């Protein structure tokens, strides 16, 4: 198994950040296997979806509707509605796996690997990437 951890700055607003290029670079030339990704944060997740055509914005809109940034949350430290960020990983999990064939991600034509972060209080996120060779 080969591993790397990459830090991303997501800023002070909700974000869907496409990390596919970093995933592609990590598996390049490694043969067949599996890329497993993990976000070691209680308020971030990983999603595989189309980006650039509105789906990333649609995901954020859907999460805003499902998890409003208001005072209903019992987990109340941080910015208003921060508790919803702690619920989000139940919907957008903190892990994802992608098959790798001949050193290339076996994603569909429009699929991208994305870091999803609703937590505006913590702008720095890490993603651990593990390549498991076949």
pLDDT in tens, 82-113: 888 999 999 999 999 999 999 999 999 999 99
Name the fold adopted by 2-133: Jelly Rolls (2.60.120)
What is the reported pTM?
0.94
pLDDT over 90 at 70, yes or no? no
Rounded distance, CA 112 to CA 134, Å?
A: 23
Dihedral sign, CA of 28, 106, 129, 121? positive
Rounded distance, CA 15 to CA 5, Å?
A: 19
More confident residue, 81 or 6: 6
User: Where does residue 102 fall: left (phi above 0), alpha (psi -120 to 50 degrees), or beta otherwise?
Assistant: left
Summarize the confidence of residues 30-34 as an average pLDDT: 97
- Residues 6 or more apart whose Cβ sits within 8 Å of residue 48: 96, 98, 107, 111, 112, 113, 114
User: Where does residue 14 fall: left (phi above 0), alpha (psi -120 to 50 degrees), or beta otherwise?
Assistant: beta
Residue of 131, 134, 133 lying closest to 38 (CA atoms):
131
């Amino acid at each position: 198994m080969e591993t790397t951890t990459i830090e991303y700055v997501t800023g002070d607003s909700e974000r869907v950040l496409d990390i596919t290029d970093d995933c592609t670079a990590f598996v390049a030339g490694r043969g067949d296997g599996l890329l497993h990704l993990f976000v070691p944060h209680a308020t971030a997740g990983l999603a595989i979806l189309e980006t650039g055509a509105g789906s990333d914005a649609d995901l954020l809109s859907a999460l805003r509707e499902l998890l409003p940034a208001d005072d209903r949350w019992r987990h109340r430290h941080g910015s208003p509605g921060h508790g919803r960020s702690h619920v989000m990983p139940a919907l957008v999990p903190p892990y994802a796996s992608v098959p790798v064939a001949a050193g290339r991600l076996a994603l569909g034509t429009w699929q991208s690997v994305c870091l999803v972060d609703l937590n505006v209080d913590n702008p720095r996120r890490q993603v651990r990437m593990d390549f498991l060779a076949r």
